[in-house]
Amino acid sequence: MTSAAKIRSFHPPQRILMGPGPSDMHPRVQNALGQPVIGHLDPAFVGMMEELKDLLRYAFQTKNALTFPVSGPGSVGMETCFVNLVEPGDKVIVCRNGVFGGRMIENVERCGGVAVVVEDAWGAPVDPNKLEDALRAHPDAKVVAFVQAETSTGALSDARTLAGIARQRGALTIVDAVTSLGGSKLQVDAWGIDAVYSGSQKCLSCTPGLSPVTFSERAVERVKARKKKCQSWFMDLSLVLEYWNAPGGKRTYHHTAPINALYGLHESLVLLREEGIENAWTRHRHHHLALKAGLEAMGLAFLVREDARLPQLNAVFVPEGIDEAAVRMRLLNDFNLEIGAGLGPLAGKIWRFGLMGHSCKIENVMLCLSALGSALADLGHPVDLGHGEAAAHDVYASHHAADASARKRMELKRA
């Protein structure tokens, strides 16, 4: 136990965050977090809340009226969706292909629902054919739940196709977009998704502790038609609505919102809008391709097949004979660089490299490849130092050449 007399103000080390989250915060977000506290019912704060909802609608690509940030991490956003949309006895088809699909099953069971599990291998995307089979076998299923971006493996599932299958069968959808929002294509309205939850600390590059959610009109109707009260008072949408979505802007006290964290989320969403959502998706893909080339040049193999890889979460197998924890500690201690370990059955077998939000940039890719090559070489793994960086550089050079060519074509067109 630390002596109280020795405890002083805490000053964290300066890290470069390239794990599964959180990501590095943009300086503008950090500055926003330090702004003065005002009351959570202050008219100025209420005005900011309205802007925040509009900004989240842009990020989710939706017009859903019920779009707001839940006061809590992504896990609370997940529970908010399940406790409001699942009643005792409801049958819910849950697609599990990693850790977070498993958590969905836990939520269904704790709500008194019946979970019908569609299994796919860790590292594989959800198979639409298996979902179709499950819905045919269980036509009374009320909800289909799946993870778009499985953070434990780096697998990206086809949310548009899966949501379309569920809608054809009359089931609502609950989608985990914790790692995809702001980094991978997500179009809630165009794809007909009913309930989505995310997190503030991944591709949005804000502080952890907020979970953006959005609910379709179909989902709101289901909430209003519940036979029993929501099992959670805090996450009961019928109560939260009067705080975040009150008619005429007059809000009823529900809880004291995390005021400064919401300042930060507001600023992170302003940054996303300034960049443009499609540009953000392209940036994550662009840097993923450079990191991929570098990792493969060092002989590392990806867990997920190429057409289903999540650009912002790159999972690669640890080379045989290498202590994966020793490599992570060396990167942290020598380079102030954090990467992630494997979870569940993949513990000790993979590394997870995050390229999220403000962490997704060329200097981080090049540092990561240089540091990883150095650590592997020191531990005796046969790696040609500099090959990873050279491969990434070639990808960047080709992108720069393509961009320059595109600009020239545009200039000629204007002329």
Order of strands across the sheet with 91-96?
66-71, 210-215, 195-197, 172-176, 143-147, 91-96, 114-119
User: Residue 382 has what pLDDT?
Assistant: 87
Domain range list for the chain = 27-273, 276-409
Residue 415 has pLDDT above 80, yes or no: no
pLDDT in tens, 142-187: 999 999 999 999 999 999 999 999 999 999 999 999 999 999 999 9
Looking at every residue in the chain, the average pLDDT score rounds to: 94
414 pLDDT higher than 90: no
DSSP state, 309? B
**Per-residue pLDDT at 241:** 75
290-306, pLDDT tens digit by residue?
Answer: 999 999 999 999 999 99
Give the per-residue pLDDT at 6. 87
276-409: same fold as 27-273?
A: no
pLDDT tens digits, 11-63: 999 999 999 999 999 999 999 999 999 998 898 998 999 999 999 999 999 99
262 conformational bin, left if phi > 0, alpha if psi -120 to 50, beta if neither: alpha
Task: Provide the sign of the torsion angle of the four alpha carbons 115, 121, 127, 133, taken in this order.
Answer: negative
At residue 409, the pLDDT reads: 67
Provide the pLDDT confidence category of residue 85 given band limits of 50, 70 and 90: very high
Q: Is 91 exposed, middle or buried (0-12, 13-18, 19+ CB in 10 A)?
A: middle
Residue bearing tokens 């609502």: 172
Q: What is the pLDDT of residue 407?
A: 66
The CATH number of the structural domain formed by 27-273 is 3.40.640.10
User: How far apart are alpha carbons 411 and 415 in whole angstroms?
Assistant: 6
Using left for φ > 0, alpha for ψ between -120 and 50, and beta otherwise, residue 21 falls in: left
Q: Is the pLDDT of residue 395 over 70?
A: yes
Tell me which H or E stretch contains 162: helix 159-168
What are the pLDDT digits (tens) for 377-390? 999 888 888 899 99
Average pLDDT, stretch 362-387? 94
Quote the pLDDT of residue 242: 75
pLDDT higher than threshold 80 for residue 245: no
Do the beta carbons of residue 218 and residue 84 sit within 8 Å?
no
What pTM did the predictor assign?
0.94
- The neighbour count for residue 14, using CB atoms within 10 Å, is 7
> Mean per-residue pLDDT for 400-406?
67
Q: Is the pLDDT of residue 100 over 90?
A: yes
Q: What is the mean pLDDT of residues 251-275?
A: 92
Residue showing tokens 């962490």 = 359
Res 340: pLDDT: 98
Q: Encoding tokens for residue 90?
A: 């409801």
Residue 245 to residues 58, 239, 307, 330, Cα–Cα distance (Å): 17, 10, 39, 48
Helix pair 324-335, 362-378: axis angle to 10 deg: 120
The CA distance from 82 to 206, in Å, is: 24
More confident site: 90 or 246: 90
Whether 248 shows a pLDDT value over 70: the answer reads no
State the architecture of 276-409 in CATH terms.
Alpha-Beta Complex (3.90)
**Per-residue confidence (pLDDT) for residue 2, from 0 to 100:** 67
For 207, the 3-state DSSP assignment is coil
Q: Percent of the chain beyond pLDDT 70?
A: 94
User: Is the Cα torsion angle 201, 203, 206, 210 positive or negative in sign?
Assistant: negative
Among 62-76, 191-205, 350-364, 396-410, name the one with the lowest average pLDDT: 396-410
Residue type for 412, please? L
Rounded mean pLDDT, 228-253:
80
DSSP notation for 317-356: EPPTT--HHHHHHHHHHHH-EE-EE--GGGTTTEEEEE--
Based on DSSP, count helices (H) and strands (E) in the chain, helices before strands. Answer: 14, 14
* pLDDT score recorded for residue 1: 61
Other beta carbons less than 10 A from residue 345's beta carbon: 12
Residue 243: its pLDDT value, please? 73
Beta strands 155-156; 172-176: pairing state: unpaired
Please report the DSSP string for 21-38 in residue order: SPPPPPHHHHHHHTSPP-
* 318 pLDDT more than 90: yes
- DSSP symbol at 125: P
Which of 29-32's residues contact partners 24+ apart within 8 Å by CB, and which partners?
29/205, 29/206, 29/207, 29/264, 29/267, 29/268, 29/271, 29/358, 30/264, 31/267, 32/260, 32/263, 32/264, 32/266, 32/267
Output the pLDDT for position 367. Answer: 97
Please choose, from the candidates 210, 211, 209, 219, the residue with its C-alpha nearest in 3D space to the C-alpha of residue 188.
219
